[in-house]
Amino acid sequence: MNSAFLAAENLVKTYTSRRGPFSTATAVRAVDRVSLSLARATTLGIVGESGSGKSTTGRLVLGLEQPTEGTVSFDGNRMPQEKTNEWRGLRARMQLVYQDPLAALDRRLTVGVQIGEPLQIHAMGSAEERKARVAELMKAVGLRADQAERYPHELSGGQRQRVVIARAIACNPELLVCDEAVSALDVSIQAQVVNLLRDLQEERGIAMIFISHDLKVVRNISDRVAVMYLGRIVEEASSDEIFRRPLHPYTQALVSSVPVAGTALKQRIILQGEPPNPAARPTGCAFHPRCRHAIARCRSETPELLSIETGRSVACHLMGSAPITEASGRTM
Amino acid sequence: MTDTPFAPGTVTTEKSGQERLPSLVVIALLWIAAMIIIAFTADFIRPYDITAFDLKNRLAPPGNAAHLLGTDELGRDVLSRLIESIRISLLIAFGSTLISAFVGTFLGFLAAHFRGIVEQVVLMLADFQAALPFLILSLAVLAFFGNSVLLLTCLMGFYGWERYARITRGLAISANAQGYAAAVTQLGAKPSRIYLRHILPNIASTLIVSMTLTFPEIILLESSLSFLGLGVQPPMTSLGNMVGYGREYLTTAPWIMLAPALIIMFTTLSISILGDWLRDQLDPTIR
């Protein structure tokens, strides 16, 4: 397995925020020591609630933002400095699919022009070839040829999302980061877009990072899944494993909320307490105020992300001794 | 967005409405076209030379056999002078509006792109420009450097640039921070492409409206300067210059002043109507 295709080492992104003109700036760690690696033709799902640093992680690995600490390497090379020519050239090989397609599209240009724009920017092919390529792309994402003359506002949400995807794959990128790419779509279109992305991956061998808060979709599309909580990865495993046997208490809570067809949602774990605030990170394990299994050590000591089985790592103090089971959860 | 592009009924009515121009816009267009034609052909359609005296026919009222719009205190033909004035005033107003739009937009883009010190300098200059009474500045410049039509045009090109700079900077920063410009940056586009091909067309409607506001102001400013004797110098003539001289004969020969005043009014009104219509046309989401 060529695991070094995309590798992120100990990424940290700190934002400073200031409440008022006289208060001192507080540093917010949006992403805290995140390491990822991704092989060609595989998909990594990143899940977590709002503010967990999923999108920032996506932007960091694409080089759209500079990490405060840590490095990103793409295909064996270090990510170049932002907005240099080298960085611009690399954009042809990695693309981002946006959450909000209406905001990501220029409302004054027809979608055909916009789909062909990456080709124009990276000077790929003649005008004729580009036109043919746009037609091909539109067909690939399931848009009609006559819709090339439409403006973004004249299309439906699902069609706009396809336009954004068509634009993202125009240059045959090797890495695609989908940031909540289907969250705004209704379920039937979600399935279409997910299938489209899967087909594209099979056809072209794209490495994909799929960021979402929707576990059903992530489960459907990902080979591996990383769960993030307050800027950290708390659990990482293959998609099947993590949904079949979640180990981290937070993952357990997330997975228990996904309905399974044919069974009643009975063992639902409802999380207590406040949603996390990155500006006021709890001491020790960030999840301890909401964790049912928290012990004294969780309050004082931050758990490291440790590999517990092959291809599976968890950041939880309870993992070292005995795995948390539903039974032990209920006795507490 | 009030339109529903998927309802066939609305689409057809919109289509037919789109092809026919509103009559007010047609009138405005015709007026501006007439003004431009007059400006270009002034030398040929002018019945007399602008300095030709007809001393026997001084202060002749309009409708005079030889002078359609009458004559002024020196017996010069008002129509001929009006035609020449339209040419000079339009030249100055168009030239200045374009210069100020170009300079302001360019500085606004610079500020938005580089931020930091460049932005601070641009904003400082804009504040300086806004705080300084422009008339005083023009008086100083014209008093020192004398005047010519070229100097006057360039000078008035600095009128109102700070508005474009501020609008452009604000809109470009917000576009860069999120949305389409960020998306195009992410595609690997160079700044020139982002600013000229994406941001400029998107903010053009705002800039055009701003231009239609500046244009009449520049005509009026030129009129004020000429009125004060620092604008276009006699024997050359401009609309403001004519109004200035005509003022003295307001009670006895109002046509000397009213003719150029009406031209100023109709031209600025037409530009405003046209700008309003153009803004809607340039926006595909409103059509």
Query: From the CA of A125, how many Å to the nearest CA of chain B?
Result: 17
Last residue of a domain, one of A165, A187, A203: A165
Q: Report the 10 Å Cβ neighbour count for B282.
A: 15
Using the beta-carbon criterion (under 8 Å), do B179 and A104 form an inter-chain contact? yes
Nearest to B188 among A103, A106, A121 (CB): A121
* pLDDT on residue A327: 41
Give how many domains chain A has, as a whole number: 2
C-alpha B222/C-alpha A140 separation (Å) is 60
Q: Kindly state whether residues A158 and A181 are assigned to the same domain.
A: no
pLDDT band at A226 (very low <50, low <70, confident <90, very high): very high
Write down which residue in A165, A192, A211 finishes a domain. A165
Q: Among partner residues A96, A105, A153, which is closest to B186 by beta-carbon distance?
A: A96
**Rounded to 5, what percent of chain A is helix, strand, coil?**
40, 20, 40
Largest CA distance in chain A: 70
pLDDT in tens, B63-77: 777 777 777 777 788
Contact between residue A288 and residue A276 where contact means Cβ atoms under 8 Å apart: no
| Confidence grade of residue B103 (pLDDT, cut at 50, 70, 90) | very high
Residues A46 and A118 in one domain: no
pLDDT at B5 exceeding the cut of 50? no
Tens of pLDDT, residue by residue over B191-205, are 999 999 899 988 888
CB-CB under 8 Å, B5 with A153: yes
What pLDDT shows up at residue B13? 41
Looking at the complex, does the CB of residue A108 fall below 8 Å from at least one CB of chain B?
Answer: yes
**Contact call for A121 and B180, based on CB within 8 A:** no
Contacts of residue A98 in chain B, CB cutoff 8 Å? 183
Residue A113: which domain range? 108-165
Among B57, B77, B76, residue whose Cα is nearest residue B68:
B77
Q: Lowest-pLDDT range, A185-189, A285-289, B156-160, B275-279? A: A185-189
What pLDDT, on a 0 to 100 scale, did the predictor assign at position B8? 44
Domain assignment present for A99 = no
Residues A232 and A316 in one domain: yes
Given a cut of 90, is residue A224 above it in pLDDT? yes
Residue A124: pLDDT band with limits 50, 70, 90: confident
Q: Does B7 touch chain A (CB under 8 A)?
A: no
Q: From CA B74, how far away is CA B237, in angstroms rounded?
A: 14
Domain annotation covers residue A102: no
Residues A301 and A189 in one domain: yes
Looking at chain A, the whole-number percentage of residues with pLDDT higher than 90 is: 20
**Chain B interface disruption, residue of A108, A120, A150, most B CBs within 10 A:** A108
Q: Are A167 and A117 within 8 A, CB to CB? A: yes
Using the predicted structure, report yes or no on whether residue B102 has a pLDDT greater than 80. Answer: yes
- Which token pair is A317? 């103090």
Token pair for B145: 């450097």
Claim to verify: residue A301 and residue A327 sit in the same structural domain: yes
Which residue, among B176, B187, B195, B279, would best test binding to A if mutated, counting the most A CBs under 10 Å from its CB? Answer: B187
- Say if A134 is an interface residue toward chain B (CB within 8 Å): no
Distance CA A91, CA A36 (A): 20
For A96, name the nearest residue in chain B, comparing CA atoms only. B186
A118 and A198 belong to one structural domain? no
pLDDT tens sequence across B13-43: 444 445 578 889 999 999 999 999 988 888 8
Q: How far apart are the first and last CA of chain B?
A: 10
In a domain, A84, yes or no: yes
Give the distance from residue B282's alpha carbon to the nearest chain A alpha carbon, in angstroms.
9
Residue numbers in B near A64 (CB within 8 A): 186
Q: Does A91 touch chain B (CB under 8 A)?
A: yes
| B285–A contact, CB cutoff 8 A | yes
User: Among all chains, which residue has been given the structure tokens 């595609």?
Assistant: B187
- Which residues of chain A neighbour B183 with C-beta distances below 8 Å? 98, 104-105
Q: Which carries the bigger pLDDT value, residue A118 or residue B8?
A: A118
Q: Which of A125, A143, A165 is the last residue of a domain?
A: A165
From the list A91, A108, A109, the residue facing B186 with the nearest CB is: A91
Q: What CATH number has the domain bearing residue A35?
A: 3.40.50.300
Contact B183 A151 (CB under 8 A): no
DSSP characters over A41-87: T-EEEEE--TTSSHHHHHHHHHTSS--SEEEEEETTEEPPPTTSHHH
In angstroms, how far is CA B194 from the centroid of its own chain? 28
* A118 and chain B in contact, CB less than 8 A: yes
Confidence at A214, pLDDT banded by 50, 70, 90:
confident
Portion 142-201 of B in contact with A at CB < 8 A: 178-180, 182-190, 193, 198, 201
A203 lies in the same domain as A278: yes
Residue B286 has a pLDDT of 66
Are residues A194 and A267 part of one domain? Answer: yes
Residue A158 located in a structural domain: yes
CA distance A89 to chain B (A): 7
Long-range pairs for B71-79: beta carbons < 8 A, 24 or more residues apart: B72/B245, B72/B246, B72/B249, B72/B253, B72/B256, B73/B248, B73/B249, B73/B253, B73/B256, B76/B48, B76/B50, B76/B51, B76/B52, B77/B47, B77/B48, B77/B50, B77/B52, B78/B255, B78/B256, B78/B259, B79/B46, B79/B47, B79/B259
| A284 domain residue, yes or no | yes
pTM of the model: 0.77
Residue A101 lies in a domain: no
Position B101 scores a pLDDT of 93
Residues A88 and A112 placed together within one structural domain of the fold:
no
A224-228, B73-77, B122-126: segment of lowest average pLDDT: B73-77
Q: Residue A269 in 3-state DSSP?
A: coil
Question: Who has greater pLDDT, B92 or A262?
Answer: B92
A285 part of contact set with chain B, CB < 8 Å? no
Neighboring chain B residues of A82 at a CB cutoff of 8 Å: none
Chain B residues with CB-CB distance to A80 below 8 A: none
The structural domains of chain B, ordered by start, are: 22-282 (1.10.3720.10)
The rounded distance, in Å, linking the Cα atoms of A118 and A52 is 31
A88 touches chain B (CB under 8 A): yes
Alpha-carbon distance A119 to A142, whole Å? 20
What is the distance in angstroms between the Cα of B111 and the nearest Cα belonging to chain A? Answer: 17
Residue A100 lies in a domain: no
pLDDT score for B287 = 57
Least confident span in B22-31, B120-129, B203-212: B203-212
| A185 — pLDDT class (breaks 50, 70, 90) | confident
A–B interface: beta-carbon pairs under 8 A: 60
Confidence of residue B1 (pLDDT cuts 50, 70, 90): very low
Which two structure tokens, joined as six digits, stand for A154?
A: 């004249």
Instruction: Indicate whether A234 and A189 sit together in one domain.
Output: yes
Window 197-216 of B: residues touching A by CB (8 A cutoff) are 198, 201-202
Q: Testing the interface with B: which of A117, A164, A175 to mutate, by most B Cβ within 10 A? A: A117
Q: Are residues A263 and A120 part of one domain? A: no
Do A123 and A251 share a domain, yes or no?
no
Shortest Cα–Cα distance, B284 to chain A (Å): 6
- Give the chain A residue whose CA is nearest to the CA of B182: A104
- Round the average pLDDT of chain B to a whole number and report it: 82
CA angle A56, B184, A231 (to 5 degrees): 0
The overall average pLDDT reported for chain A is 84
pLDDT of A213 higher than 70: yes
> pLDDT tens across A140-183, in order?
888 888 999 999 989 988 888 889 989 998 988 999 999 888 88
B1 contacts chain A (CB < 8 A): yes
* Top-confidence residue, A321 or A70: A70
Q: Which residue has the higher pLDDT, A51 or B170?
A: B170
Number of other residues whose CB lies within 10 A of the CB of residue A257: 13
Residues of A in contact with B285 (CB under 8 A): 107, 151, 153
A117 and B179 within 8 Å at the Cβ level: the answer is: no
B179, B186, B201: residue with CB nearest A64: B186
Q: What is the mean pLDDT of residues A237-264?
A: 84
pLDDT at B225 over 80: yes
Residue A153 domain flag: yes
Give the distance from residue A106's alpha carbon to the nearest chain B alpha carbon, in angstroms.
5
